[in-house]
Amino acid sequence: MEKIQALTSQNGVVIFTKSTCCLCYAVTILFHELRVNPIVYEIDQHPDGREMEKALPKLGCSSPTVPAVFIGGKLVGSTNEVMSLHLSGSLIPLLKPYQSLMA
């Protein structure tokens, strides 16, 4: 759990994913389209992935645990929460500090 907290507090936007998850891919693409380059950890490919997967629910991630999106060190949630924020217009203000200047 400390590893996840360290990773998410040191980076602006972090997404924990699995390489075979289509929803993880969709959320990652959304962030790229919003000009944000998140740090992506594919927990099924990461050496500490099993430990991370076990720790995510303890931090508040629901099942399934991926994608788990953190912005500014805080858990935003999974696909449903991210898409709800985006549709309500609340996601872009959260991402503003992390958007690249390139169009």
Tell me the mean pLDDT in the region 58-80. 91
Terminal C-alpha separation, the chain: 36
- Domain 2-98: give its CATH code: 3.40.30.10
What predicted TM-score, i.e. pTM, was given to this entire model?
A: 0.92
Whole-angstrom Cα distance, residue 17 to residue 43?
6
What per-residue confidence (pLDDT) applies to 2? 85
12-50: pLDDT as tens digits: 999 999 999 999 999 999 999 999 999 999 999 999 999
